[in-house]
Amino acid sequence: MPTSYYPHPIIAREGWPFISGAFVVALLVQIFAGWLWALPLWLIALFVLQFFRDPPRVIPALAGAVLAPADGRIVAVDKVQDPYLSREALKISVFMNVFNVHSNRSPVDGEIRNQWYFPGSFLNASLPKASLENERNALWIRTKEGQDVTCVQIAGLIAKRIVCHVHPGEHLARGQRFGFIRFGSRVDVYLPLGTKVHVGIGDKVQATQTVLAEFH
């Protein structure tokens, strides 16, 4: 098990500095200026706290299942060219708004064969062109059955940091937490042609608990 894995702490570790900072500022303003001035800051602190929540998830037992890598809404289910593995593939895209859980989890069991990071723009992550123009981090995961899956973290309009804790050569388990995107974003999953898709445009999904697709 990679050292980057850790038991679910309810609040994501990536958020601890932001949460503590927001609460300290709100408390200082209340002490020195009163609660009326501090009230908006307390509301901001509560928003930051809810944004970094990281609840545990139950992993479905369905063999061959491809699990949702993020909470959010399906904005794309298309046959496309996988820009990372240069193949035709099925792309399923999950858009996360600021009220979704932003912890990212592996869609499959497998070995990380490669990783690519690209600096880029911060367009609205729900737009199709965000897949190729925004800042992004891609993982190539190969299952023990030989299925290739590309999982791509994509920064959004106000997302300013993609966090990925894993590296090529490590093994990911289905549902294992591997990263985080701060403040609005998207995750694309590229799957082999012939994969049976279980979701459609507009569906709401939950990371790990929702089955996006199934290998034959």
Q: Do 75 and 49 sit in the same domain of this protein?
A: no
Q: Do 102 and 137 sit in the same domain of this protein?
A: yes
CA distance 140 to 197: 20
* 194 occurs within a structural domain: yes
For the cut 70, the answer to whether the pLDDT of residue 5 exceeds it is no
* 5 occurs within a structural domain: no
pLDDT digits (tens, 9 = 90+) for 32-65: 999 999 999 999 999 989 888 888 888 988 889 9
Q: Do 129 and 40 sit in the same domain of this protein?
A: no
CATH (domain of 182): 2.70.70.10
* 89 occurs within a structural domain: yes
For the cut 50, the answer to whether the pLDDT of residue 1 exceeds it is no
pLDDT digits (tens, 9 = 90+) for 104-121: 999 999 999 999 998 877
Q: What is the pLDDT of residue 4?
A: 42
Q: What is the pLDDT of residue 125?
A: 61
* 107 occurs within a structural domain: yes
Q: Do 78 and 23 sit in the same domain of this protein?
A: no
For the cut 90, the answer to whether the pLDDT of residue 6 exceeds it is no
- Within 8 A by CB and 6+ apart from 164, the residues are 115, 137, 139, 153, 178, 179
Q: What is the pLDDT of residue 123?
A: 66
What's at 209, amino acid-wise?
Q
Name the pTM for this structure. Answer: 0.86
Q: What is the pLDDT of residue 181?
A: 86
97 vs 169: which has the higher pLDDT:
169
Q: Do 37 and 73 sit in the same domain of this protein?
A: no
To the query of whether residue 185 is one of the catalytic residues in this protein, the response is: yes
* 59 occurs within a structural domain: no
Q: Do 210 and 164 sit in the same domain of this protein?
A: yes
Q: Which domain holds residue 16?
A: 10-54
Average pLDDT over residues 73-92: 96
Q: Do 198 and 150 sit in the same domain of this protein?
A: yes
Q: Do 25 and 114 sit in the same domain of this protein?
A: no
Determine which one of 103, 106, 131, 185 is catalytic.
185
Q: Which of 134, 132, 187 is nearest to 157 (CA)?
A: 134
Under a CB-based contact definition with an 8 Å cutoff, are residues 108 and 142 in contact? Answer: no
Domain count, the chain: 2
Q: Do 139 and 87 sit in the same domain of this protein?
A: yes
Average pLDDT over residues 190-199: 96
Q: What is the pLDDT of residue 2?
A: 40
- How far is the CA of 31 from the CAs of 35, 37, 42, 70, 179, in angstroms? 8, 10, 13, 39, 36
Q: Do 118 and 187 sit in the same domain of this protein?
A: yes
Q: Do 128 and 205 sit in the same domain of this protein?
A: yes
What's at 140, amino acid-wise?
W
pLDDT digits (tens, 9 = 90+) for 127-162: 667 677 788 999 999 999 999 999 999 987 665 578
In this structure, what are the phi and psi dihedrals at residue 8, rounded to the nearest 5 degrees? Answer: -60, 120
